[in-house]
Structure formats: C-alpha cells, structure tokens
Structure 1
Amino acid sequence: MGSRRKKREEEEEPPPSLSEDDADGSDSPSEEGSKTEVDSSHYEQARNQRIKENMERMQKLGLFDLSLKLKPPKENHLPKKKKKKTIPQPNNSPQRRSSRIMSLVPIDYSEGKLPDPGSKENEVEIFIPEGTNPEVYTEEHEKLLGDCESTWELCVDGYDEDGNRMYDPIKGQTCHQCRQKTLAQHTNCNKCELLQGQFCGDCLYMRYGENVIEANHNTKWVCPPCRGICNCSRCRRGKGWMPTGNIYSKVSKLGFKSVAHYLIKTRLTELGSSDAEEISETSADTTLNIQTRTRASKKRV
C-alpha cells in the first residue's frame, strides 16, 4: 500500500518552474538541435548540387569515356599454376665445329704437369744496364774473391726479436755496401783502416761470399774496395758501371756463392798483357780516389 501512495504523490506533483533564462525567451536545447539539422541539410543540398554540376560538366567534356579507356583491364585473380622444373638432359648429339678449325687439335684445358726445374721456362734472367765503360774482369780479379768456412745466417745479427733492423746514429757503424748505420758486427780493413773497410755481416756474405766473424779474426784481411772488387753502387758508378741492384736471390738460384762471384766469373775475359795492365791501373786509380774521398770525409767529421 505504501508504494502505491508514493506513485500517486509523484504523479500529482506540479511540473518544475521555468528558470529566468527560459522565461526571457532563450533557445531551448531542442530548438538548437533543430537549427543544426537545418544548417546541415542546406550544406548537403549545396554539396549535392555542386557534385551534380561537376558531373554534367565532365560529361560534356567527354572525360568519362577517356577515363574508361585509360583504365587497365581487370586481371584474373585466379592462382597461377606453378611451372614444373625441367631438368636439362645431356646433349648426346655431335658438337658442331667451324670448318675453319676442324683440322685443328682441340684445346685441352686440364691442369698439366709442372715444368721441370731445368727447363728453359724457369731460367733466371739478370739484367744489368750497360755503363759508359765495359765491365771486364781478369784472372787476377778471380783470385781476389773471398771464401768462408762457415755459413752466415742472414737477418739475425743486428736485428731485434721482431725481425726489425736496429739502427743507431750514435753507437752504430755505417756499412760501406748498404750505407746503413746499425748495431751489428762490421769488418775492419787491415790495409786502409778506413770507413770503406766496414761491411756488415749480411752484405759481406751476400755480395762477396765471406763471413764477418772469420774476417775479424784474420789479421791479413783486406776489404773489397782495396782489392778492387767492390760492387757497391758508388764504386761501380766511379768505374763507369751501372749498379746491379738486389740480385742475390737470382744469383744464388744460379749456383753462385755471391754477387761478386757471379760478376767476375760471368764477365771473365782472356786479355793480353797490355789490356790487363790498363784494366788493373783503372781499378787501382778508382780505388785510390775512393780512399782519398773517404779520408777527406773522415777528417770533416
């Protein structure tokens, strides 16, 4: 019974009074919604009218027909069938060859045997440019060639643990052959006692076939410049000959003990007594001039 009374009281309540704004005649929410609907309908009508006018203009210009022509044809979207891989079969038919090369033997591209060490293909070629004077040696020069009882190990004396040569401008000695001031064993000439008699172990062995240790123990040892067989670039240019360059590896392959042995034995010529005297005098004069220059440089130092 109480719930029915409450419902009747709610139904009999008067409607809420209008606010001051409503009494003044302002727009209600329902009126605002109706205005927006009217504005949107006007916009849609104007838009539809513009679209219609544009469509008519395009039809007059014939743009619709042109667009249909430019459209690509619709592709069939069915799944493509995968092509089967074909394995090429061996061609057993005889190979065709040009009539011009029918008589020639086919080229064999298979790896052949290595050439023999004694064949001409492996011959070592040594080229030394010609100088202003002919390079000729006699038997006297051959007798002045040195020798050694024990072999010298290259690139060890005067080198550090990493295999680099140890240079020292203060404590080092200058080699007459390579012109390098290093901390290595050097020879001392018992005849001239000059700087030209200093040769490091590697140069003395490669260029003249001698051992620096044996040379230092020999009280009668004479340096190559004093013997007239020095083949350094400076001495050779003084005689009118061109430098040989680094040819030790090629010379050793040919079986020669050193560069000096190769030069003298390959250029050994039988000459008369007068020619031999002229050659010996020329070598002696050149050696004397080199000694004089070395002494002068030593005094300047």
Structure 2
Amino acid sequence: MGKLGSKSEYESLRDARISENMARMEMLGLRRCAGELTDIASASSRRAAPRKTPRPRVTSMTPLRRSGRLVAATPAGSASTHRRSARLNGQAVQHKALPSTGALGKLAAAAVDYEWDTEEDDDDEGKPRLVVSKGRVHALQERRCDSKGRGAVYDPVLGICCHFCRQKKLCGEEDCKRCGEGDLKQPCLGKTECSSCHSSYGIFCRACLKVRYGEEMEEVRKNKNWMCPHCVEEKGINKFWICNSSICLKKRKIPPTGIAIYSAREQGYESVAHLLMDRLKRQAF
C-alpha cells in the first residue's frame, strides 16, 4: 500500500506525457505562434474603427423625372401637374358600353349612352337628371331575361345591387318600369325593400330570396311591414333566424355556406336559412 501523499503510477505517467507534449510544442514553435495571434487580436480590438458621420441629404432643386406619357398628357402652360378625372375638369361624362362579342355584337350599333334631361320637373325643381337613351332601352329589352329569376343583364345604373349575390342585374318582372322602360325614378319590382332599415341589407332579388330564405317575392310585396333577415336577426324576433349572406356571416365569425341549397333540400329543408337555424338550435342545446 503506497504512502499518503505519494503520486500514483497513473499520475506519474500523466505528468510525463504533459512534459513530453510541452517540449514538442516548443520545438514546433506553436506556443510562440499562439502568443503572437493573441497579441494581434487584442491590438485590433483596442483599435476600433471610428464611426462614420452620416452625410447630410442633399435635396436637388431640379424638377422630378416624369414618363413621356404623362408629359404628353399634361396641357401646355398648366400650373398643376396632377392628373385629374374628366368629371373634376368639368367635362361631360358618358358611361362606356361593355365590350360586345359574339351574340352581343349587334349592340355595338345601338345608342347605349345615358343622357342628361334639362327639362323642368316639379320634383327635381328644374335640375338636370340622368335618363336612359331610347337606344339603350331598346337594347336592354332585347337582352332582358324572360324569367323572373335573378336576371341575366348587368347594368351599373339601372340595376340595384342584391345584398346576397351582390349583382346589379335587371329583373324579369313584366310590370317593372325601371328595368323594362329605363325609368330611374321607379323602384325595381324584382328587388325587396325592408320596412325597417330601408338600406342595402334589405335588398334581395327573387332568386336569392327564395333559395336562401324560402320566401316568395309576391308575399313580400303584399306585406307592407316585411323586414329583412338582417333586421329580424338584430331585433331578435326569431331567435335562431339569421342572415346567411357572406357579409353577415363573417361578422358572426361563421364561414360562408357557398352553394348549400342542394344539401339543404336533400335534408328536407326549405332554404339555407332553415338549415342554419336548425344547426344553431342544436348547438345551443
């Protein structure tokens, strides 16, 4: 048994190997190279590069470069270089006809512009009002949808936007003077009007009213106190009856239903609104 404080055989071998490695490093000059690299690194850290002061921004007084198209469009001697619309410049504005191709090619020769009527009128107090030219009325009557559905003719002025499908299409109602005769003062018989809000939330075409809410246009016309699904939902008249347009569903954080009428009819529901009402009832209970 070895004496206390004496080195063991392992420690003696370890010390001998360390001494051998140190002698080898001295012979190769590794320790000298390591010292020089340490001195270089410390010296470079002390000599930090001075921060460059930002140059002041020079604002040129020369005019801005403009494209050749804008330069050519600017009238000579004009003080303002901003582009303005024809309406702001006081010029006459006409609605451009939609590009006609195929079956609509015959509409190219028709007068499809709108006109301004300056004749005195008791309602307008002599102010000019927008009217539809006879040529456009004739062209619309030829293209007008015969059915009483959603319609097939888009018109940005005569058409009234439906809250669900958001289409400004002319209705197919026989007695509608707005869509049939081009009278802008008359309401569209193929669109509903809410007795409560009188807003765009209460405007539905015949097809959307039937498919999405299960209501008939004739019954809505007879009911002077008819309220749109949006107002029924807000007033809480029918607890689980909601407006299923994408706008209203997103406000309720419900994904839009898309074409859900086929699924609703397969399950025996009258409309998409009845399907959603049943789902909300089951979720509540």
Q: TM-score range by the shorter chain?
A: 0.3 to 0.5
Q: TM-score normalised to the size of structure 1?
A: 0.36
Higher relative contact order (CA 8 A, sep 6+): 1
**In terms of Rg, which structure is larger?**
1
Q: TM-score normalised to the size of structure 2?
A: 0.38
